[in-house]
A and B are shown apart, each in its own frame.
Chain A
């Protein structure tokens, strides 16, 4: 069974969800515009780094090493964090993580918490779990606030509201904050959000965060951000709870040297994030007096066991793969029916669900390889996609409907043809006969039957020519001369 609790994401196949989103011209314009802007900025700040490839190599090696000795580094982190006055909790799945947070909040009789953008808390459905117990979670990241007020879902792991433009944001703010005339310049919108959040920062005593990195050596936690809402949440409240996937650990403080260069450049096209916070335990008279870290497994250690796919966990959540992906560009993130969209989502989501969900996601890629090219920790996403497709096929073949399905039958037949030149020649001959009813006067086919109908939906198919290459070659050989 999946380790993930039932979330508010609909369980839809990618092609079906994508089809709906493709109808939304505004959303698609927003996604294209936003990703074009980020990609352009990224191109500039990556292009100026003469050692970019070495940094990718180093980042990959550090993450791979950390994953190989994950148990050791997690225990080291726990020890160091505890020594610095923090409390470390271990959660096997989403339900455990939510229960831990709830018990901490109940001990304080907290009715409200402020939150820093965290996809991990989105993964475990924390806000819904808190709401069910009467605790209100207030998002303080601008994009997360837009999502929360608009009762929407994040569509991007770095810019969750990337699918909305500023006019739509203004509409959401006016409607939900009951403010009258808000301008639609970014400054106007930010000012409204600022006023809206300021009182919360000053009054709510508990904050919840995710983490970019857990530092084993020091027990420190690192978060990078652009808005300063994170810094407020990390310093003003009395209690801070950090929820982090177990894969977020890095061995040494010095390793940040690599990631604090590659992460901001990859994520937002900035040389450095405006706010880089690292905190270690608690310090009297400085920041929260009570600090908890919840280390979340939720399917991650299972992924670690899959030699081929475990590189998925190297991810540092920069979203460069989402921004560059030509598929994501068309559909936006909601088509992936998961908090993790785009190429990284296409490999991470099905694994977190152990293929119980998201089995169409490994196919939501043309395998163009752009994601691998930009990945700052060199996750070979196309290779993992193919590996997962292999698992999907084997699972399907274990069922009668899968075994007798058109795809399997077609592939088995093709596999038997492709081991002999004579068989291929025969298949070509039969194809030429079989296509006759479909071929138009100009040698094109505008309508194909069954699953091939997907092709002719927008494309004409070129008919099989009267002579294959091998026939031409044989004739030429037999006549003993050049063409």
Chain B
């Protein structure tokens, strides 16, 4: 299958290793990756901060770039949630029937990375080896918008050498919330403290998730507190092989 990768703006800029990992996993499974260079952002930051008008050209740009894709794979559940939950409304409010039709046509081809593997490709064992103790953080969008359920855990469960440790209060927000982390940094920090305690309780070496946005926030706290625990996107664990782990 030809898979179009939407790396997302922040992964492109801050977490290229996650993108490389997605490419490695999908190519290992025999798929061809396409990376439309003109891709940018899904518009989530603008939309969720209330810059609704400003988000619309970004949304239209996304549609333009990916309209012909056979499948769009995105290693970020909150971006997928933005596309699924808000693109139809943005299109509808524009009053542009073609825009609405474009969104409707593209949505069924948009997949979050882990659901693409499990639900679209029907793969759980991607041939990974990762000899570390890992805890999984369920991001709010993956849990409540995408309803991923145990999809990421099914993938992790098939990784050789991995030791999984469940986190308490897994359904509680880590406190990132996009610009919330800046506008309400005090509350966000306290939410992070509670999440870090849950993570440290698992005695895991690595905390993983399907969103680098939460992980950037969590890792920022773990690093500041010098906990020695690190974060890694699910794709990076799934890309890991015997010799490299």
Taking Cβ atoms with an 8 Å cutoff, the residues of A that contact B are: 14-15, 18-19, 22, 326-327, 330-331, 362-370, 372-373, 383, 386, 388-394, 407, 411-412, 414-415, 417-424, 428, 431, 444, 446, 451-452, 454-462, 464-465, 467-474, 482-483
Distance (Å) between the CB of A372 and the closest chain B CB? 7
Which listed residue, A14, A458, A472, touches B189 by the CB 8 Å rule?
A: A458
Q: How large is the interface on B (under 10, 10 to 19, 20 to 34, 35 or more residues)?
A: 35 or more
- Report A-chain residues with C-beta under 8 Å of the C-beta of B183: 15, 363, 454
Known contacts A370-B171, A412-B54; is-contact A464 B181 (Cβ 8 Å): no
Are the C-beta atoms of B181 and A474 separated by less than 8 Å? no
Within the assembled complex, what's the spacing in Å between the Cα atoms of A393 and B145?
A: 25
Are the C-beta atoms of A451 and B182 separated by less than 8 Å? yes
Are the C-beta atoms of B13 and A468 separated by less than 8 Å? yes
Q: Which of B39-47, B115-123, B126-134 contacts A (4 or more CB under 8 A)?
A: B39-47
Interface of chain B: mostly helix, strand, loop or mixed: helix
A466 to chain B: closest residue by CB? B16
Q: Which of B94-102, B151-159, B216-224 contacts A (4 or more CB under 8 A)?
A: B216-224
Within the assembled complex, what's the spacing in Å between the Cα atoms of A474 and B11?
A: 16
- Report A-chain residues with C-beta under 8 Å of the C-beta of B219: 462
Within the assembled complex, what's the spacing in Å between the Cα atoms of A22 and B187?
A: 8
Within the assembled complex, what's the spacing in Å between the Cα atoms of A368 and B216?
A: 17
Are the C-beta atoms of A22 and B12 separated by less than 8 Å? no
Are the C-beta atoms of A474 and B172 separated by less than 8 Å? no
Are the C-beta atoms of A386 and B189 separated by less than 8 Å? no
Q: Which residue, of B40, B47, B61, B183, has the highest number of chain A Cβ atoms within 10 A?
A: B40
Are the C-beta atoms of B217 and A459 separated by less than 8 Å? yes
A362 to chain B: closest residue by CB? B50
A470 to chain B: closest residue by CB? B12
Are the C-beta atoms of A18 and B220 separated by less than 8 Å? no
Are the C-beta atoms of A455 and B181 separated by less than 8 Å? yes
Are the C-beta atoms of A419 and B16 separated by less than 8 Å? no
- Report B-chain residues with C-beta under 8 Å of the C-beta of A474: 37
- Report A-chain residues with C-beta under 8 Å of the C-beta of B52: 386, 390, 393
B56 to chain A: closest residue by CB? A415
Are the C-beta atoms of B19 and A472 separated by less than 8 Å? yes
Interface status of B188 (Cβ within 8 A of chain A):
yes
Interface status of B245 (Cβ within 8 A of chain A):
no
- Report A-chain residues with C-beta under 8 Å of the C-beta of B46: 411, 414-415, 418
Within the assembled complex, what's the spacing in Å between the Cα atoms of A459 and B224?
A: 6
Within the assembled complex, what's the spacing in Å between the Cα atoms of A363 and B185?
A: 11
Which listed residue, A15, A363, A369, touches B140 by the CB 8 Å rule?
A: A369
Which listed residue, A390, A456, A464, touches B13 by the CB 8 Å rule?
A: A464
Are the C-beta atoms of B182 and A452 separated by less than 8 Å? yes
- Report B-chain residues with C-beta under 8 Å of the C-beta of A457: 185-186, 189
Are the C-beta atoms of A418 and B43 separated by less than 8 Å? yes
- Report A-chain residues with C-beta under 8 Å of the C-beta of B12: 424, 428, 468-470
Taking Cβ atoms with an 8 Å cutoff, the residues of B that contact A are: 7, 9, 11-17, 19-20, 23-24, 27, 35-41, 43, 45-55, 57-58, 61, 85-86, 140-141, 144-145, 171-173, 175-193, 216-217, 219-221, 223-224
For the complex with contacts A14-B184, A366-B188, A444-B223, 6 further pairs of A-B residues with Cβ separation under 8 Å are A366-B177, A368-B144, A369-B140, A370-B140, A414-B45, A458-B189
- Report A-chain residues with C-beta under 8 Å of the C-beta of B58: 415, 418-419
- Report B-chain residues with C-beta under 8 Å of the C-beta of A394: 53
**Nearest 6 interchain pairs by C-beta:** A366-B177, A459-B220, A389-B50, A454-B185, A368-B173, A458-B189
Are the C-beta atoms of B175 and A366 separated by less than 8 Å? yes
Are the C-beta atoms of B180 and A366 separated by less than 8 Å? yes
Within the assembled complex, what's the spacing in Å between the Cα atoms of A12 and B40?
A: 38
- Report B-chain residues with C-beta under 8 Å of the C-beta of A473: 19, 35, 37
Are the C-beta atoms of B47 and A366 separated by less than 8 Å? no
Known contacts A421-B38, A424-B9; is-contact A367 B184 (Cβ 8 Å): no
Are the C-beta atoms of B144 and A431 separated by less than 8 Å? no
Within the assembled complex, what's the spacing in Å between the Cα atoms of A468 and B178?
A: 21
A431 to chain B: closest residue by CB? B13
- Report A-chain residues with C-beta under 8 Å of the C-beta of B141: 369
Known contacts A370-B173, A415-B57; is-contact A327 B144 (Cβ 8 Å): no
Q: Which residue, of A392, A394, A415, A470, has the highest number of chain B Cβ atoms within 10 A?
A: A415
- Report A-chain residues with C-beta under 8 Å of the C-beta of B19: 469, 472-473
Within the assembled complex, what's the spacing in Å between the Cα atoms of A471 and B16?
A: 9
- Report A-chain residues with C-beta under 8 Å of the C-beta of B216: 461-462
Within the assembled complex, what's the spacing in Å between the Cα atoms of A19 and B183?
A: 12
- Report B-chain residues with C-beta under 8 Å of the C-beta of A386: 47-48, 50, 52, 86
- Report B-chain residues with C-beta under 8 Å of the C-beta of A472: 16, 19-20
Are the C-beta atoms of B180 and A460 separated by less than 8 Å? no
Are the C-beta atoms of A367 and B187 separated by less than 8 Å? no
Distance (Å) between the CB of A211 and the closest chain B CB? 32
Which listed residue, B20, B43, B57, B176, touches A366 by the CB 8 Å rule?
A: B176
- Report A-chain residues with C-beta under 8 Å of the C-beta of B45: 411, 414
Q: Show 29 residue pairs from A and B whose CB-CB distance is below 8 angstroms, ordered by the A residue.
A: A22-B186, A326-B175, A327-B184, A327-B187, A366-B140, A366-B173, A366-B178, A369-B144, A393-B50, A393-B52, A411-B54, A414-B41, A415-B57, A418-B40, A420-B38, A420-B40, A424-B12, A424-B13, A444-B223, A452-B182, A454-B183, A454-B185, A455-B185, A455-B220, A459-B220, A468-B16, A469-B7, A472-B20, A483-B23
Known contacts A418-B9, A472-B20; is-contact A367 B48 (Cβ 8 Å): yes
- Report B-chain residues with C-beta under 8 Å of the C-beta of A367: 48, 140, 177-178, 180
